[in-house]
A and B are shown apart, each in its own frame.
Chain A
């Protein structure tokens, strides 16, 4: 039910790439899992509302107040590459 082409397509969406061997493993294991999950179609959910969250929450707002943010040095400490107080990335344009 899920093909190697599907795996390649979804990998593209998820920004992942696989070797040919990995594609085979994922086609098989994702296929097994989705086949199992097909049982959901047996459940009558015609008039059932979806649950995204178990708490009766809608939006949680706070006052729009300026607060101190984390120190720039601290934030950049884990950056793989940085330059002049900024994150450094490969050429974009």
Chain B
């Protein structure tokens, strides 16, 4: 069962020569070959390249060389992360034939750490969506129930890790796009603090909110991968110049005396009873481990969603202005002048949801509406951030559900964008405030995975990992796998 081992276990076995990098990568590629017709996680599979890299690692070990920590570990990257000479589509017709001439910093770093890319995963077009149904190319199924969505927008990455088609994956999270699919697919996902991971080479959606992070089988792996993707990068002007700790150190210190806030707004109407029950039980487990839990209030929670959709769409409308059919990407044919070229290219190249966000953002920024929508949303953003700052004076972390319900059926929300947006109500405030948050599996409701969300202070990923690790030390949910 190489394909369900954690990256940590694989790393040790490869170093101890119990298994070769080639066997490891082959086992995952075999799994993709067998299952991905059903699941639909991958847009591009880089099989030959991956095997070549694995063989190179094996040769190095044989010749007595030392291997970097992630050598031979098969990984998947969301297809909005630039990979030099490997197509990067953003699941959009606009970038269908785009082959980046450079790599995202996260890919460079993981390559340096030895990890082997097995493929690029499906997403909602330009990461705009909550179910991966907005992909221009394919649908991705939830491995736990193929009639249901894997969540989104990093649905391909989460489904790949859940179905044993990658040891770990990276996703990007603008309003919940790592944590929400991780919760729905029963795996671990972390959105680090804004600025912790360089955005260089990750296709921009909303620049003040976007952040990349790992999707893994357990919390230990999350720390393991995080160790290799964080750090200051001068090519991202919002990259934070702060020290990066060893995220694996101190994982096992326990949570005795940790002060945990339980925000009551995250348990209001609209939460599925099964989700509420599992999260309440998980809080009981954390208390049993010595944490002190109290109810707290984040009064502006209800407004975060509106503020988020105004701000993220405004930023998207500006970021996506670059797709004009001139330097790269799709170009409409037979246009007589420049204006026609822009309009036809964009109208033919973008899908419906992307157009909706561009329209919403353009409207919110347009003369006469700027103050009422955009500026107002930015002020509300301040209030959402202050809510968190206030409770974090007295608490180390906050614990709540990642999503209000388990995975929904494919097609259930596609006709009603607002209902789709509301599914991210518990993940969005975290991005608005730039905080780190972790989603870990905490059981099942209607036989579908439920995610527990842990929210931390800026740059306190270690505290989240310590709490998550303690929880997984006394529960077995992260060891369950779907029958695919």
**A residues touching B (Cβ–Cβ < 8 Å)?**
2, 6-7, 10-11, 13-18, 22, 25-26, 29-30, 32-34, 36-37, 39-41, 43, 45, 48-55, 57, 60, 62, 70-71, 74-75, 77-81, 87, 89-92
Excluding A32-B417, A55-B194, 11 further A-B contacts by CB distance (< 8 Å) are A14-B317, A40-B373, A40-B380, A41-B376, A45-B383, A49-B379, A51-B382, A77-B101, A80-B328, A80-B330, A92-B337
Least CB distance from A52 to B in Å reads 6
List CB contacts (< 8 Å) of B292-310 with chain A.
Answer: 300, 302-303, 306-307, 309-310
Contact (Cβ within 8 A) B373 A7:
no
Bound complex: CA of A15 vs CA of B240, how far in Å?
35
Bound complex: CA of A74 vs CA of B328, how far in Å?
11
Is B385 an interface residue when CB atoms closer than 8 A count as contact?
yes
List residues of chain A with CB within 8 A of the CB of B238: 53, 55, 57, 60
Partner of B356, one of A29, A36, A45, A78: A29
Partner of A54, one of B208, B234, B376: B208
Contact (Cβ within 8 A) B306 A14:
no
Partner of B360, one of A25, A30, A89: A30
Q: Convert B89-114 into 0s and 1s, putting 1 for each residue whose CB lies closer than 8 angstroms to a CB of A.
A: 00000000111011000000000000
Contact (Cβ within 8 A) A36 B343:
no
Given A14-B359, A16-B359, A57-B238, does the pair A81, B331 have CB atoms closer than 8 Å? yes
Bound complex: CA of A10 vs CA of B331, how far in Å?
22
Q: From DSSP, what is the main secondary structure of chain A's interface residues? A: loop
Contact (Cβ within 8 A) B418 A54:
no
List CB contacts (< 8 Å) of B330-349 with chain A.
Answer: 330-331, 335-344, 346-347
Is B326 an interface residue when CB atoms closer than 8 A count as contact?
yes
Is B462 an interface residue when CB atoms closer than 8 A count as contact?
no
List residues of chain B with CB within 8 A of the CB of A81: 331
Contact (Cβ within 8 A) B302 A39:
yes
Contact (Cβ within 8 A) B343 A54:
no
Given A10-B359, A33-B309, A53-B238, does the pair A78, B101 have CB atoms closer than 8 Å? yes
List residues of chain B with CB within 8 A of the CB of A6: 363
Contact (Cβ within 8 A) A41 B101:
no
List residues of chain B with CB within 8 A of the CB of A62: 234
**Across the two chains, which residue of chain A brings its CB closest to B362?**
A14
Least CB distance from A36 to B in Å reads 6
Is B366 an interface residue when CB atoms closer than 8 A count as contact?
yes
What is the size category of the interface that chain B forms with chain A? 35 or more
Bound complex: CA of A71 vs CA of B421, how far in Å?
42
Is B329 an interface residue when CB atoms closer than 8 A count as contact?
yes
**Across the two chains, which residue of chain A brings its CB closest to B336?**
A90
Is B37 an interface residue when CB atoms closer than 8 A count as contact?
no
Contact (Cβ within 8 A) B343 A79:
no
Given A10-B362, A50-B375, does the pair A45, B380 have CB atoms closer than 8 Å? yes
List residues of chain B with CB within 8 A of the CB of A51: 378-379, 381-382, 385
Partner of B307, one of A7, A40, A52: A40
Bound complex: CA of A60 vs CA of B325, how far in Å?
30
List residues of chain B with CB within 8 A of the CB of A2: 363
Is B1 an interface residue when CB atoms closer than 8 A count as contact?
no
Bound complex: CA of A7 vs CA of B310, how far in Å?
16
Bound complex: CA of A89 vs CA of B306, how far in Å?
39
Contact (Cβ within 8 A) B358 A43:
no
Contact (Cβ within 8 A) A80 B331:
yes
Least CB distance from B276 to A in Å reads 24
Least CB distance from B376 to A in Å reads 5
**Across the two chains, which residue of chain B brings its CB closest to A48?**
B379
Partner of B327, one of A39, A50, A57, A78: A78
A-B contact pairs, 13 of them (CB 8 A): A10-B366, A14-B317, A15-B342, A16-B350, A33-B418, A54-B434, A75-B327, A77-B101, A78-B327, A80-B329, A87-B327, A91-B337, A92-B337
Bound complex: CA of A48 vs CA of B384, how far in Å?
11
Is B355 an interface residue when CB atoms closer than 8 A count as contact?
yes
Least CB distance from B89 to A in Å reads 12
Contact (Cβ within 8 A) A75 B362:
no
List residues of chain A with CB within 8 A of the CB of B178: none
Contact (Cβ within 8 A) A16 B326:
no
Given A11-B359, A30-B360, A55-B240, does the pair A40, B208 have CB atoms closer than 8 Å? no
Is B377 an interface residue when CB atoms closer than 8 A count as contact?
yes
Bound complex: CA of A11 vs CA of B361, how far in Å?
11
Is B442 an interface residue when CB atoms closer than 8 A count as contact?
no
Contact (Cβ within 8 A) A50 B379:
yes
